[in-house]
Amino acid sequence: MVAPRIILDAERFRLTLARLCYQLIENHDDFSQSVVVGLQPRGIFLSRKIIAELNKLTGQKITYGELDVTFFRDDFRRKALIPQNTQMDFVVEGKKVILVDDVLFTGRSIRASLDALQQFGRPEKVELLVLVDRRWSREIPVSPDYVGITVDAVFSEKVTLDWNTDQQGAIVHLLTKNQED
């Protein structure tokens, strides 16, 4: 029914993750004014890897939180939305926030996350890091600052991430539906 194709294997994922971390370090110096925020539910797998790598590379403990945006989404009543936990024991007032998500598709959850973030103060700047940027599928003017890979996929296709704990990384699949489906 579907023909999955690997577009990022575990080895490439490790390289990409390292590159994203070095890009962040270039822009954020010692991270004293920066915080990393992973978006629930799926962005946190990536953000936890990023924060572990950043802590290792910089030798510091960088402020880190996980944000659930369910209550701020605009597709409420179109599908069942079950909230996840928010873990943010700091305020973002005057801080540079790095939002982390796995796949950037329509941009709607990023819009919701900007609303949700306001509950924790007025950040000086908000940046967006995504592992996969699905180009040409945006419904809202959102663009990422840090991108793992860029994928050109049509709406009927699906991008999925397998977080394989054995291999310490992710494999990104592209699922394409056959014509007859």
Partner 1 sequence: MLSVKHLLGIKYLNREDIALILQTADTFLDVINRPIKKVPSLRDITIVNLFFENSTRTRLSFELAEKRLSADTLNFTASSSSVSKGETLIDTVNNILSMKVDMVVMRHPQAGAAHFLSEQVDSIIVNAGDGAHEHPTQALLDAFSIKRKLGSVEGKKVVIVGDILHSRVALSNIFCLQKLGAEVAVCGPPTLIPRHIESLGVRVETNLRKALEWCDVANMLRIQLERQDIKYFPSLREYSSLYGLNAAYLESLSKEIVIMHPGPINRGIEISSDVADGPHSIILDQVENGVAVRMAVLYLLAGRQPE
The residues that touch partner 1, with contacts defined as CB under 8 A, are: 68, 70-72, 76-86, 91, 115, 118-121
Q: How far is the CB of 143 from partner 1 (least distance, A)?
A: 24
Complete DSSP assignment for 79-99: B-------B--S--TTPEEEE
Tokens of 164: 């394989």
At residue 21, φ and ψ (nearest 5 deg) are -65, -40
Q: Which one, 67 or 171, has the nearer CB to partner 1? A: 67
Q: Which one, 1 or 80, has the nearer CB to partner 1? A: 80
Q: Which one, 88 or 128, has the nearer CB to partner 1? A: 88
Alpha helices in the chain (DSSP H): 10-28, 43-58, 108-117
CB burial class (10 A; 0-12, 13-18, 19+) of residue 29? exposed
Q: Tell me how far CA of residue 74 lies from CA of 8, 138, 172, in angstroms.
A: 31, 15, 27
Q: Which one, 29 or 115, has the nearer CB to partner 1? A: 115
Tokens of 77: 């009543």
Q: How far is the CB of 161 from partner 1 (least distance, A)?
A: 24
Q: How far is the CB of 48 from partner 1 (least distance, A)?
A: 20
Q: How far is the CB of 83 from partner 1 (least distance, A)?
A: 4
Residues 49 and 74: their CA atoms lie apart, in Å, by 29
Closest alpha carbon to 148 in 27, 15, 40: 15
Q: How far is the CB of 76 from partner 1 (least distance, A)?
A: 6
Q: Which one, 91 or 140, has the nearer CB to partner 1? A: 91
